[in-house]
Structure 1
């Protein structure tokens, strides 16, 4: 396994600063946020999604720049994380151009979100399947693969629902981002089940944590909902997850996508490096001082 960092978790840094900080902390690559997130306002990650300075524009020049800076720092461009809406092939093509310019091997896609009075699961599935079929052809021409992220409040909150879709595609072209933090919010299945179902479609892992807290307000029932938390304090058994991925022979990237706010984002990046060291994370190498 190789460890990188998602720039969505570094909203206060510009690209050059993010590359320098990640390299110094010992990460091997960065997964780049691209474009703005239309659903960001009012979301649990608003402070990371809105005004994020490490966001790349839809300009291939940005891709070439981060490729050059990353190579100089010894980092890989792990992939791009845009917010392309289902059906927006024009928007996807713009991201593909950035991917080609940066050398990114993959582009993250999210499933559509449910809206009050909107299409039901079956309608959304049919629409997204048609989009992904066309999108995969565009990506093939660009030499890039597509990865669907397991994400709460979307069409694919679990490994089984993601597998139901991607199993219709060539696993070398379309795969899944297995996000263990998102599955605290919705869609958790035993890791042995989820990873077995995904099989060759398990292309990437997002690592973060969350904890359940009571919701403010009075009522007959004290409701608890998940909130983002530090990597070493939450529902996700981080050492256990990493040990299990190693056990099944996973050799891909693990991107830390920490959305907690206990520490400053840069301090969080460094702190998480110490957590990986303390866990004895398989494949993690402590940087040599100096």
Structure 2
């Protein structure tokens, strides 16, 4: 497996700083965040993120993206795009940019489920949009990725498989996301991988924990999900890698840690050490079990 970082999780670093830091720490690649965002001081994950490339004028940034990535000795694990599947013009732009960069694959986001629209209608329309994106990706020799993400029409492997089933897995695939599934959509990992089969194209790892809030007047306890370190969240990272090895996955694993207990440099350094340790241990155990 190869390990990369999604730069949504490195908001304090400029692109040059992010590439240099990640390369020095020993990461294999980078997944650049590409979106237009609000400004914020201090920089945050979702606003003011310094390691984000704006979608507006993206074509003028491609040479810099390529140079910064190449000069650091990093590979592209993919591109972290935010163009929604029904935004055809920007989906096409992201696919074209991915092809020009040689980045192979790019995320296309899905509609949310909290708009009040009928789920069946939204899903059917998204299927048409994803089929269109897959066809465009085939023309360009790249792949459109669908992420398992809470509060969207594809929170689970089962939902994503329904969306992409029958399309060409060479040009459309699924990002399995360990942390998102703690919030919504969790299924047994190996079963999910087996269901997705050739559509399992990419893996994101982060962690989450559920925490109780203050009891309401009638004693009801509300719960909310919050980001946690890879070591401290509810998702079992070791069991996840065991399942990846059993399935035979040997692709990219991208860290996107949104916890804040540790400073950024310490957080990314520790994440790589932990991921490599868990991957090696579970690989050896899986080989011994065969």
TM-score over 0.5 (shorter chain): yes
Residue 191 of structure 1 aligns with which residue? 189
Q: Which moved more, 1:85-94 or 1:145-154?
A: 85-94
Kept in 2, the 8 Å contact 1:204–1:253? The answer is yes
Tell me the CA shift for residue 154 of structure 1: 0.2
Alignment of structure 1 residues 105-120 onto 2, 5 Å? 105-116=104-115, 118-120=116-118
Counterpart Cα distance in 2 of 1:282 and 1:35: 37
Question: Using a 3 Å threshold, how does the CA distance of structure 1 residues 216 and 81 change in structure 2: closer, same or farther?
Answer: farther
Tell me the CA shift for residue 263 of structure 1: 1.7
Kept in 2, the 8 Å contact 1:56–1:63? The answer is no
Tell me the CA shift for residue 89 of structure 1: 0.8
Residue 286 of structure 2 aligns with which residue? none
Q: Which moved more, 1:211-220 or 1:234-243?
A: 211-220
SS in 1 for 2:155: coil
- 1:209 maps onto 2:207 in alignment: yes
Counterpart Cα distance in 2 of 1:131 and 1:200: 20
- 1:174 maps onto 2:176 in alignment: no
Tell me the CA shift for residue 248 of structure 1: 1.7
Counterpart Cα distance in 2 of 1:182 and 1:213: 16
Residue 95 of structure 2 aligns with which residue? 96
RMSD: 2.2
Counterpart Cα distance in 1 of 2:20 and 2:153: 36
- Map Cα deviations across residues 13-34 of structure 1 (whole Å, 9 max, x no partner): 1111111111111110011110
Q: Where in structure 1 do 4 or more consecutive aligned residues deviate above 3 Å?
A: 280-284
Question: Using a 3 Å threshold, how does the CA distance of structure 1 residues 62 and 191 change in structure 2: closer, same or farther?
Answer: same
Residue 137 of structure 1 aligns with which residue? 135
Name which of 53, 58, 61 aligns with 1:56: 53
Kept in 1, the 8 Å contact 2:164–2:172? The answer is yes
SS in 2 for 1:211: strand
Counterpart Cα distance in 2 of 1:242 and 1:25: 21
Structure 1 gaps, min length 5: 285-290
- Map Cα deviations across residues 176-213 of structure 1 (whole Å, 9 max, x no partner): 00001000000000112111100110000000101110
